[in-house]
Every structure is written in C-alpha cells, then in structure tokens.
C-alpha cells in the first residue's frame, strides 16, 4: 500500500504544481498575443492535470482509510472513508480539498473562456490546502502555524517555478516567429523577475520545513528520510545552477545566437525533468518518519 500511496502523492503534487504554475504564467506573465497562441495546448494540459488531481485525491482518501484502518479491506470500505472524512484532521481538510479539485475539473470542463487568472487563484487555494496535511501538521500552537504557513508558501513557490517551465518551453518554440518574438522576450523577462522570488521562497520555506519537521540539519545518511532530503536538496541545487545559466548566459544571447535558443530550450526541459525527480523524492520521504 505504501508504494501505491507514494505514486498517488507524486501524481497529486505533480498535477497540482503544474495547474498553478501554468495558469499563473498564462494569467500574469504571457502578453495577450502570446497567451492566445499557447491557449489550446496549455488548456489541454491543465484539464488533464485537474482530472489527475481529482482522481488521485480520491485515491489518497481511500489509501489513507486503509492506513488508518485495517489495510486493504478498509481501502474499499465506505464507512471507513466517512469516519476518516468526519473524525480526523486530515479528513476535514480533505473534504475542502476534494471540493476544490471537483470545482477545478467542472470549471475546466465547462466552456470556461480561458479565465486563466481565476484558474490560478482557485488552483492556488487547492494547492495551498495541501499545506494542512502530512508532516506540516505535526506541530501545534505557534510552531504549528509557522509550519503550515511555510508549507503553503513552499508549495506555491515550487508550483510557480516548476509549473511555469512548461509554458516557458512552449513559448521558446515561438521565438522564431517574428510576430511573437517581442512577446516571448517580455514573458521571459517577467518570469525571470518573479522566478528569483519563487526560487528564494522555495529554498527559505524548505529550510524552515527542515527546522520544524526534522528539527536538525540532515547529516545522518543512514536515515532514509535524511538521505532522501539531502538528495532532494542536491537536485534543487542543480536546478538553481541551470536557472542561473539560463537567466544570465543564454537569455541575454538569444537575439544573436540560434545555438542559445536551442540550449535554453534543452536546459529548461532538463530543469523541468529534475523538478519531477524532486517531487518524486518528496512524495516518498514525506511518508517516512522524519528522523
């Protein structure tokens, strides 16, 4: 059951991070003309992400019922689902989370007219509500409030960074189109501007998470939790390195070099692939005892 839960968490965190990042990019970073040219492709991606989000949210509830109950028999037992939803802190948060997931799917399935900003706000609340489950709620009182707030900031900053990499890679494919080139340049500038804050916020909130969830710096590599946390931090360090090269080497030379455009696209896709690995690693170690 643990492996199924880890896969379910990966799909759930991954789809939530993408939903928020893509809609924030389309809603606030892409100039009108460019946003219209990316609309159809990104609308398909967010619809699939919302659907995966709803399915994995239901699966997470069933698996949590099995974990809190007597194993697989309680995974399929509606009265255990009801007890988990009504009698546990996780369940009370999950009621709201499931409603938000269903609202996103129904809105994106209706003729939603591409209100990307509304989708960004709705998916921000949906993604942020994950900051009220798991190890984020281990602590109570003031420390508990800081831990929940830090997890919310962590998820939104991580979502902006990772999710926006998909429209960014797509819009680099439009750089050759002279009609869209200035829009693409403006979107790149806006992303790298806000991107600095997102990277700083995800690292700062990550350090706060380490302090509150683990209570010490991860140095004990014989602890699976600490080893995986160190692996995650290493992956993020490589992503930051790529982001710096993209911003300060490749983007400035875009106008004069075809090579720079190709390298920037490859590097952006590599950054995204590393991001998926980061979410996979945390989907695993978030289920382990933080010691």
Minimum Å distance from CB 177 to ligand HEM?
Answer: 30
Minimum Å distance from CB 161 to ligand HEM?
Answer: 6
Minimum Å distance from CB 100 to ligand HEM?
Answer: 17
Q: Which is nearer to ligand HEM, 45 or 203 (CB)?
A: 203
Minimum Å distance from CB 85 to ligand HEM?
Answer: 20
Task: Spell out a b/e string for 30-61, using b for 16 or more CB atoms within 10 Å of the CB, else e.
Answer: beeebbebbeeebbebbbebbbbbbbbbbbbb
Q: Which is nearer to ligand HEM, 43 or 61 (CB)?
A: 61
CA distance 126 to 24: 14
Q: Which is nearer to ligand HEM, 43 or 46 (CB)?
A: 46
Q: Which is nearer to ligand HEM, 121 or 233 (CB)?
A: 233
Q: Which is nearer to ligand HEM, 43 or 229 (CB)?
A: 229
Minimum Å distance from CB 259 to ligand HEM?
Answer: 27
Q: Which is nearer to ligand HEM, 15 or 209 (CB)?
A: 209
By the criterion CB under 6 A, which residues form the site for ligand HEM?
A: 13, 134-136, 151, 154-155, 158, 161-162, 202-203, 206-207, 209-210, 213, 229, 232-233, 236, 239, 275, 278-279, 282, 286, 290
CA distance 58 to 63: 9
Minimum Å distance from CB 77 to ligand HEM?
Answer: 25
Contacts of 253 (CB under 8 A, 6+ apart): 260
Task: Give one DSSP letter per residue of 259-290, joined into a string.
Answer: HHHHHHHHHHHHHHHHHHHHHHHHHHHTTS--
CA distance 231 to 228: 5
Task: Give one DSSP letter per residue of 129-197, joined into a string.
Answer: GGGGSGGGGS--HHHHHHHHHHHHHHHHHHHHHHHHHHHHHHHHTTTT-TTTHHHHHHHHHHHHHHHHH
Q: Which is nearer to ligand HEM, 61 or 254 (CB)?
A: 61
Minimum Å distance from CB 74 to ligand HEM?
Answer: 22
Q: What does the block give as tokens for 246?
A: 């993209």
CA distance 228 to 215: 16
Q: What does the block give as tokens for 186?
A: 């403006």
């Amino acid at each position: 059951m643990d492996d199924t839960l880890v896969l379910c968490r990966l799909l759930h965190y991954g789809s939530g991070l993408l939903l928020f990042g893509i809609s924030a990019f389309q809603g606030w970073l892409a100039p009108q003309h460019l946003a219209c040219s990316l609309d159809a492709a990104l609308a398909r991606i967010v619809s699939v992400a919302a659907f995966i989000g709803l399915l994995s949210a239901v699966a997470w509830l069933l698996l949590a019922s099995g974990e809190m109950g007597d194993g697989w028999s309680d995974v399929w037992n509606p009265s255990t689902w009801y007890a988990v939803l009504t009698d546990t802190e996780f369940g009370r948060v999950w009621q709201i989370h499931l409603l938000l997931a269903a609202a996103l799917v129904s809105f994106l399935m209706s003729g939603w007219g591409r209100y990307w900003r509304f989708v960004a706000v709705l998916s921000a609340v949906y993604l942020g509500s994950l900051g009220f489950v798991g190890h984020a709620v281990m602590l109570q009182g003031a420390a508990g409030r800081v831990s929940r707030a830090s997890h919310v900031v962590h998820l939104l900053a991580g979502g902006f960074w990772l999710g926006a990499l998909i429209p960014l890679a797509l819009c680099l494919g439009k750089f050759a189109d002279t009609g869209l080139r200035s829009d693409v340049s403006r979107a790149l500038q806006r992303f790298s501007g806000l991107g600095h804050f997102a990277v700083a916020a995800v690292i700062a909130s990550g350090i706060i998470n380490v302090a509150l969830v683990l209570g010490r710096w991860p140095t004990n590599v014989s602890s699976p939790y600490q080893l995986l946390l160190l692996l995650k931090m290493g992956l993020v360090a490589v992503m930051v390195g790529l982001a710096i090269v993209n911003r300060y080497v490749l983007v400035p030379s875009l106008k004069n070099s075809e090579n720079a455009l190709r390298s920037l696209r490859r590097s952006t896709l590599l950054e995204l692939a590393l991001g998926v690995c980061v979410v996979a690693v945390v989907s695993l170690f978030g289920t382990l005892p933080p010691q």
